[in-house]
Structure 1
Amino acid sequence: MEMTILGCSGSLAGPGNAASGYLLRMSDGEHIVMDIGPGVLSRLQFHDRPGDVHVLFSHMHPDHCLDFPSLAVWQRYHPTDASGRVHTMLGPSIAPVHLGRASADALDEVDDFSDIFDMSGWQAPGQEPVEFADGTYPEHRIGSTRLYAATAVHPTESYLIRVEDADGSSLVYSGDTAATPNLAALASGADVLLCEATWGERDNGDNPPQMHLSGEEAGQAAAEAGVGRLILTHIPPWGDREGALRGARRFFDGPVDLAVPDMVVVPGAPA
């Protein structure tokens, strides 16, 4: 597995940085985009063929999904790179209607993407944290890639995502979430934890509750999960990137990096 960061700006696109979007190239040749916020499709065109990608969504907030209707236009109508097959889309249960309304021609219509995407909802364990090694997580598949989800803590239906390649490498993506034991449980033993750190070094108590993580909380989850590497992402243009790094390193003694556009990460390889 190889991940390319297409965009990692938190809550909205920033100067020179698209909102959330991550390209995964799997060992079996399948290509997957995790979240596709504003600006991500533009960056994807530099790195891959938009006509041949599957899509995973952590949740439906605009900074994580608004380029999907444009991706659908590409896959349907591009003169030389339209989709030649139906791809997989996994996301929250609200995704088909939410995205369909964003793409429809009239207010009361919902665009049907079934010509280009097989759209399914994440299946996840209950609210009680379950260690990933217990083998109780429902499994989704794209080719030989195994995908798992756990419930996040966010104002809308949101999920943490674990990706396991046939080559044995693994990556866990936090999406957007407040602190939850589900994160360390799902990330147990993963090669890479790609984790939001919106609040910078620590939550100062003035932030909206049940929304996001700080660098300290990301570091705590990484340490508890025993991951190989922590990458901090989803920091707004006005956010404290260096503070998030300090906070994470206070709790996690493995490699910690700040996500940047075009960064390439190979889970399982030396950081």
Structure 2
Amino acid sequence: MRLTVLGCSGSVNGPGAACSGYLLQADGHEPVLIDCGHGVFGELLQHADPNRVAVLLSHLHADHCMDMPAMLVWRRWAPEKATERSLLYGPAGTALRIGAGASEYPGQVDDISDTYDVREWVDRTAVDIHGLHIEPFKVDHPPSTFGLRITGPDGEVFAYSGDTGVCDEVVELARDCDLFLCEASWTHEPDARPMGLHLSGTEAGQVAARASARSLALTHIVPWSDADAILDEASAAYPGPLQLVHQGQVIEVRPPL
């Protein structure tokens, strides 16, 4: 599998920095887009045809889903517009949330069923999309949020935390994975973070260590956090290969030799 980081800024975007969006592709298959926060759609256009991408939303906070209305416009009105619906998976209420964001009239909801086949995650109920086996895990973050464990055609395993606090479920979804893409929104200092809403660098490292993840990639760092301090915290808690992801980065996900 190949992971392309379209955006990785936490909570809000910034100059040249899109929010959460990750393109995952198995060789010989069309890609899936994991989350579509502010600024992600423009980055997607550099890497894939929006008409051929399935979308997987971890949850419905704006920084993870609110570039979907832009993709909806493209798929409906661009010269090479979509000729068939694409899969869109997300938590309960996904069609309503995206439809409300796409509507031009306050208080109304755009019916997106002409463009997307919208389906809802069911905890621990796997689906197969574009050569990938995808298992959603409900994690600890408001509103309803799902981390994803994704197995590729050669048995390689990619795990994505979504947004989460510390919980057994995020450890389980990352168990023995080849790459764990884990949020680490801020440092572990008590005055730097609300408790339980997101992971600190220390907590991300601890989760990866508990899960025996083979490698750890940190994402969703909020712009006002100290990224180097978060990386140092994680490295003190996790002994394996570790990195901060950056926009435009491509990471190969391979099974162990």
Please, what TM-score do these two structures have when normalized by structure 2? Answer: 0.95
Q: Counterpart in 1 of 2:33? A: 33
**1:64-115 superposed Cα distances (whole Å, 9 cap, x missing partner):** 11100110111111102x2232211111102111111111232232212222
Distance (Å, rounded) in 2 between the aligned partners of 1:58 and 1:77:
27
In the alignment, what sits opposite 1:116? Answer: 115
Distance 1:206 1:260 in 2: 22
Correspondences of 1:51-90 after superposition (within 5 Å)? 51-80=51-80, 82-90=81-89
Does 2:120 correspond to 1:156? no
Q: Which residue of structure 1 aligns with residue 213 of structure 2?
A: 227
Deviation of 1:140 after TM superposition, in Å, equals 1.1
Distance 1:209 1:216 in 2: 13
Task: Please list, as runs of the form range in 1=range in 2, the aligned pairs for 1:147-226 lying within 5 A after superposition.
Answer: 147-200=134-187, 202-204=188-190, 207-226=193-212
Task: In structure 1, give the amino acid aligned to 2:24.
Answer: L
Q: Distance in 2 between matches of 1:144 and 1:48?
A: 16
1:98 is the counterpart of 2:97: yes
Task: Tell me, yes or no, if the aligned pair for 1:230 and 1:257 is still in contact at 8 Å.
Answer: yes
Which residue identity does 1:50 align to in structure 2? P
Question: 5+ unaligned residues in a row in structure 2: which ranges?
Answer: none
CA contact (8 A) 2:32 2:130 kept: no
Amino acid at match of 2:39: G
Are the counterparts in 1 of residues 51 and 86 from structure 2 also a CA contact under 8 Å? Answer: no
The C-alpha deviation readout for 1:220-255, integer Å capped at 9, x for no partner, is: 111111111100000011111111111111121111
Q: Aligned residues: percent identity?
A: 38
The residue number in structure 2 matching 1:107 is: 106
- RMSD over aligned Cα atoms: 1.5
Describe the SS at the equivalent of 1:36.
Answer: coil
Q: What's the secondary structure of 1:171's corresponding residue?
A: strand
Displacement after TM superposition at 1:166 (Å): 1.5
Runs of 4+ more than 3 Å apart:
none
Counterparts of 2:95 and 2:195, CA distance in 1: 28
Q: Are the aligned partners of 2:157 and 2:255 in contact in 1 as well (CA < 8 Å)? A: no
Secondary structure of the structure 2 residue equivalent to 1:47? coil
Q: Distance in 2 between matches of 1:97 and 1:45?
A: 25
In 1, Cα distance between equivalents of 2:3 and 2:49: 15
Task: State the distance in 2 between where 1:22 and 1:206 align.
Answer: 27
Distance 1:83 1:233, change over 3 A: same
Deviates most, 103-112 or 3-12: 103-112
